[in-house]
Structure 1
Amino acid sequence: MAHIIVVGNEKGGAGKSTVSMHVATALSRMGHRVGALDLDLRQRTLGRYSNNRAAYLQSEGLELPSPVYMELPEADPASLAPGENAFDHRLSKAVAELEAQSDFILIDCPGSHTRLSQVAHSLADTLITPLNDSFIDFDLLAHIDSDGDKILGPSVYSEMVWNARQLRAQAGLQPIDWVVLRNRLGAQQMINKMKMENALERLSKRIGFRIAPGFSERVIFRELFPRGLTLLDLKDVGVKQLNISNVAARQELRDLIKELKLPGVTPSF
């Protein structure tokens, strides 16, 4: 069976689609077969990223390892079982089709609570939650006191993950390996940064997730989107010398892949 990686939280702007495309492409470049789904049916950022990649590679006559992106299939009402949810049917059909040809299936979830996102979380073998280094984003995981020192209780997204874990346990599936990424970290050792680090450490032990380094804030990520490229593709498209920022970003991606501890994966880029 394919190992399912879900990238999700319930807040936009945390870098989910950037993480999704880079992880999926990195696995593809390491020789793994990767399928990809975008469950944000409105914005479709990962879908647009994938379409941009296909169009650019075709226009340049290039062949680069890439995930196989699939649109979520429509559901014929006549094919639904009595009481079956159409969104459940569409996601199950897509996963079943990709599973036959994939080692990994990466699912990018919307920055909101939807039925599709809820079901996808229950399918996750590995759950990646990018989080901006801010107590605004932290509030998605847990409520905290006014000083930022005491955790008052889990928040809405943590509760959804808990429910997904319960569903997997009832089905006899392996527990979700939940990895929270500290994304868009600043270089300065600020008081807020240290408080965030301490709060995440305490919360990780309380509700059961691992903490991994994500990506720093870099212009290169926004520049790559129109061509559907990732940091790993730069030399293949004619960039002969990577600048210091790009080299550092590649190392961040390598560190991330290593920290995910995916089955059969050893970073080789």
Structure 2
Amino acid sequence: MLILIGNQKGGAGKSTLTLLLANYLAGERGRQVTVLDMDYQQSLSAKAEKAKILENDPLYEIVPADLGHFPAMQRKLGKVRNEIVLVDLPGKMDDDGLIPVFAAADMVLCPFSFDEFSVDSTLLFAMVLGKINQWAPLIFVPNRIKNTVKYETRTEIEKVLRAFGAVANGLPDRIDFQRINTFQTPIILYPVVIPLLDQLYEQYITKEDPS
């Protein structure tokens, strides 16, 4: 199963959500996970290398890759039973290399924030994705939710997004998210991340990938 994590806007929380989901799938659900780090900054690959230096056993493999590598890699991906491949996409939409990646997706997760620039970028991402892949479920994940966000604003934005896909449980704005690494999610974050991760797994991932 191939799950993309992306948004047109950089800094939307793609890499953090990728780590959270990878740690959860491998550690809590016992799934075999491979992460393709296609973000230009390749922060996940850097975290994986740091973990090796600290001699922490990895829960899964993180593979740094350019978008251009995807067609060749696709033949090898998802061949192992029970495997879930997560792709951390670059935060830009001006690369034709995204087309085969979008087309191959079984599911797409799109983290976003409740601000004008993030919402506009999220809608652009959803529209482009919809023209390339009309079958993969698109799930929007509210991220960095601040107490100052008005309920009316959030309701209106979610209403607009539901024209393109589903809106999942969100994640609050917490400094502790900076402590996530490639071998564990800090236990202090469990109360705020498990509701989202359980929802993604039980309502969407198992539905699309019953293995």
Say whether the fold is shared (TM-score over 0.5). yes
SS in 2 for 1:69: strand
2:121 corresponds to: 140
2:85 corresponds to: 105
Instruction: Quote how far apart the aligned CAs of 1:127 are.
Output: 0.4
- Alignment match of 2:109 (pick from 128, 137, 140): 128
1:23 corresponds to: 21
Instruction: Quote how far apart the aligned CAs of 1:187 are.
Output: 2.7
- Identify which of structures 1 and 2 has the higher relative contact order when contacts are C-alpha pairs closer than 8 Å and 6+ apart: 2
User: Counterpart amino acid of 2:205?
Assistant: L
- Alignment match of 2:5 (pick from 4, 7, 10): 7
Q: Note closer, same or farther for the CA distance 1:255–1:112 as it changes in structure 2 (3 Å cut).
A: same
Return structure 1 stretches of 4+ with deviation > 3 angstroms. Answer: none
Q: Distance in 1 between matches of 2:76 and 2:137?
A: 24
1:92 corresponds to: 71
User: Counterpart amino acid of 1:210?
Assistant: A
User: What are the within-5 Å matches in structure 2 for residues 24-63 of structure 1?
Assistant: 24-29=22-27, 30-40=29-39, 42-56=40-54, 58=55, 62-63=56-57
> For the aligned residues, what is the CA RMSD?
2.4
Q: Note closer, same or farther for the CA distance 1:106–1:135 as it changes in structure 2 (3 Å cut).
A: same
Q: Note closer, same or farther for the CA distance 1:200–1:38 as it changes in structure 2 (3 Å cut).
A: same
CA deviation profile, 1:245-268 (whole Å, cap 9, x unmatched): x2xx31332122222221279xxx
Instruction: Quote how far apart the aligned CAs of 1:112 are.
Output: 0.5
1:160 corresponds to: 128
1:195 corresponds to: 153
Q: Is residue 142 of structure 2 the alignment partner of residue 182 of structure 1?
A: yes
User: What are the within-5 Å matches in structure 2 for residues 245-256 of structure 1?
Assistant: 246=188, 249-256=189-196
Provide TM-score, normalisation by structure 1: 0.67
CA deviation profile, 1:10-32 (whole Å, cap 9, x unmatched): 10111100100110111111211
Q: Distance in 2 between matches of 1:68 and 1:96?
A: 17
Percent of residue pairs identical? 19
CA deviation profile, 1:118-140 (whole Å, cap 9, x unmatched): 32222111100000121221112
Provide TM-score, normalisation by structure 2: 0.84
| Structure 1 unaligned residues grouped into runs of 5+ | 74-85, 143-155, 167-174, 235-241
Q: Contact 2:57/2:183 (CA < 8 Å) preserved in 1?
A: no
